[in-house]
A and B are shown apart, each in its own frame.
Chain A
């Protein structure tokens, strides 16, 4: 039974909850008393302008940053109070695809994929070898196992990063700007891989992205970050219906060519 198994009533449960979370950097308050929850089995897209705290939200979930105040509850535990050892127990349920893939650049692709298995399982070398080759084949990386990250294209790095994140079949996947810096063709390929792997592994996903409106095609829910506050929408179509001027302004700037209704422009 996984950390996030709640029995039969799984779909209604929140896996991650923010209670009144505040995070500042110097004088800038990035998150200002945020209350939000992420539900199991859903794909939540976190959108917002640059510097609004999207990646900070992911780092708070992973315990890489500490909030100034507030609680972050993951599977019933407030991770802001956990010691490193217990935090690692929570992290074992996460897979992360970083913006730059964050592959260990002194290791080959093969070694990068084998790392989570070597460090976190008791698999024998032969089993690790088999699993790594399976993943290399699945992510169309066959023949690239001996290459180093510096020898890979941006799209290939993202594929290796995704494969590494999925090596231990995590229950939650976090994607930090998964398509930034990629051309439209590779972006589409990454989205296809997302669809395929989510279907295969059934993970809950949280995606931070600038790629609006394309990334909304993946979303079950959208969280919009503006001025340190989060607004939750059960679908992207709900965004232009908001009464919040910041949200409407964001919608016109980023989704205007889709939702350019006279009503919305009148709201501004």
Chain B
């Protein structure tokens, strides 16, 4: 009985310590933004890795998501004789929800997992310790550029996703299924308002911060994660953990932001 209570208490204390560690990690990474000299070249390099190299993944995800929306939307709206609203349905779904969420999830899968593994391996092979021993701040040198690059890349990729998604919806709805192109365009113009755009932008910034924070943090603390194991297995589990936790966090915050802003 006592051991059961002790285990609950131990888990609770671990959770508190973990939240504290991650909180201090976030503050240290954000503080690095204001440290000089500004690592412009490293930030640009990370934007290429996290942002530019994700363009094709985002392109195909957006195109086919938009086409499926066009297809499903057409058959659903046709039942009510409202095919003309297809542009509105596709654009609102993408701008408000699917654009920010799917972009964040794709970046987690492509770049977030890689960030976690990279930093985890550096931790295990004492490269982070080596940086500290050379009096080089690992946050300023390694973590902050990834923060900045992700916070810049995800909102841009989200807007790219929205545009390609709407094009996908147009291809499926107008070109393949024969919806009136004028109705498709005017549907978008009449239904999308500033609030929708702002909602999407706020979500993309929040998701970017969540993704980079969780993925780099899980890698940075790979050696003290509970049940993570050591060596390659530890990095593998930390990476899985980072992908799962950041994906779920994105979905939870998607709901919270929508509830607050609408």
Hey, which chain B residues are within 8 Å of A62, CB to CB? 129, 132-133
CB distance from B129 to the nearest CB of A (A): 6
Least CB distance, B35 to chain A, in whole angstroms: 11
Contact of B126 among A89, A91, A98, A164 (CB under 8 A): A98
Does A105 touch B at the CB level, under 8 Å?
A: yes
One of B134-142, B172-180, B247-255 at the interface:
B134-142
Residue of B nearest to A104 (CB): B127
Interface string of B109-150 (1 = CB under 8 A from A): 000000000100110011101111111110001000000000
Q: Using C-beta atoms within 8 Å of the partner chain, give the interface range for chain A.
A: 20 to 34
Q: Which 10 A-B residue pairings sit nearest by Cβ, starting from the closest?
A: A102-B130, A102-B126, A88-B135, A96-B133, A91-B135, A119-B136, A98-B126, A92-B135, A116-B134, A102-B127
Q: List 17 A-B contacts (CB under 8 A).
A: A59-B129, A62-B132, A63-B132, A64-B129, A64-B132, A64-B133, A88-B137, A91-B135, A100-B126, A102-B130, A104-B122, A104-B131, A105-B121, A106-B118, A115-B136, A116-B134, A120-B134
CA distance A48 to B248 in the complex (A): 47
- Contact partner, A105, options B125, B136, B137, B141, Cβ 8 Å: B125
Contacts of A105 in B (CB 8 A): 121, 125, 127
The distance in angstroms between the C-alpha atoms of A84 and B35, with both chains bound, is 14
Besides the contacts A64-B133, A116-B134, what 11 more A-B pairs have beta carbons closer than 8 Å? A59-B129, A62-B129, A62-B133, A91-B133, A94-B133, A102-B125, A103-B130, A104-B127, A104-B131, A105-B127, A115-B134
Contacts across chains A and B counted by CB atoms under 8 Å: 53
Contacts of A227 in B (CB 8 A): none
Interchain CB contact under 8 A, A98 and B130 = yes
B interface SS class:
helix
Instruction: Report the nearest A residue to B130, measured CB to CB.
Output: A102
List the B residue with the shortest CB-CB distance to A174: B133
Closest approach, in angstroms, between the C-beta of B11 and any C-beta of chain A?
15
A116 to chain B, nearest CB (A): 5
Q: How far is the CA of A177 from the CA of B19 in the complex (A)?
A: 35
Give the CA-CA distance A94 to B136 in the complex, in Å. 13
A102 contacts across to B, CB distance below 8 A: 125-127, 129-130
From B129, B135, B136, A98 is in contact (CB under 8 Å) with B129
